[in-house]
Homo-oligomer: A and B are copies of this chain.
Amino acid sequence: MPRSTNQTRPAPRKAPKQARSLETVAVIVEAAARILEERGHDGFSTNAVAERAGVSVGSLYQYFPSKDALIGALVVRETSLLVEDTKKACAQSTGQAALSAFIAACIAHQFRRPQLARLLDYEEARLPFDADTQRVGRQIHELVIEMLAKSDLPALEDPDLTARETVAIIKGIIDAAGQHGDADTDALAGRVQRAAFGYLAIGPG
């Protein structure tokens, strides 16, 4: 039997319903995050997620048409936070300042939930996401291109490639640090900057 029967509800009828749905969706997505963190990709099952979320599998499938769609939603949720911070970083006046802020955002993102971040990177690479999900993923790419175009940075032959590889460097180091359990984020930021700026052929300083 459902959590609460939900019948009568006059005047402001639909708003609350939506609110409830939104909350249910959020609960499910967070449960998915926990299960993924705790059990890894192979231990991640829709039944486990539903149980952890305190809803029935049926409800889960009411909100997400498939397991991969649920993972996609989780990717979107996690990436969105980083996108927001990346937008702010992009608002910095110089390219170097923007990149530094972006690196700091990536580190913050990674250290919030290291396991989750790592596993979702893998899922993101693996899944043929729908347009929405991919778009969120691409937003960061576009923003980095924008940063790299700022006037204090050298002009680029192939901005697309450079942005892609810059992100790869940054993620690579940060992931390694996260996996190993390093805790000194300031020192890490310095090292990541050295690598990124070196790659971009920006002299130190």
Pick from B1, B161, B168: contact of A42, CB below 8 A: B1
A173→B40 CA distance, assembly (Å): 25
Taken together, the copies of this chain in the complex come to 4
Total chain A interface residues with beta-carbon distance under 8 A? 36
Whether A43 is near chain B, meaning CB under 8 Å from some CB there, is yes
- Do the beta carbons of A161 and B182 come within 8 Å of each other? yes
The interface residues of chain B lying within 8 Å CB-to-CB of A180 are: 161, 164
The interface residues of chain B lying within 8 Å CB-to-CB of A179 are: 125
A204→B204 CA distance, assembly (Å): 11
Interface of A is mostly: helix
The interface residues of chain B lying within 8 Å CB-to-CB of A42 are: 1, 3-4, 126
Whether A112 is near chain B, meaning CB under 8 Å from some CB there, is no
Chain A positions 125 through 137: 1 when the CB is less than 8 Å from some CB of chain B, otherwise 0: 1100000000000
The interface residues of chain B lying within 8 Å CB-to-CB of A40 are: 126
The segment out of A94-102, A144-152, A194-202 that lies at the interface is A194-202
Task: List chain A positions with a Cβ less than 8 A from chain B.
Answer: 1, 3-4, 40-43, 118, 122, 125-126, 161, 164-165, 167-169, 171-173, 175-177, 179-180, 182, 191, 194-201, 204
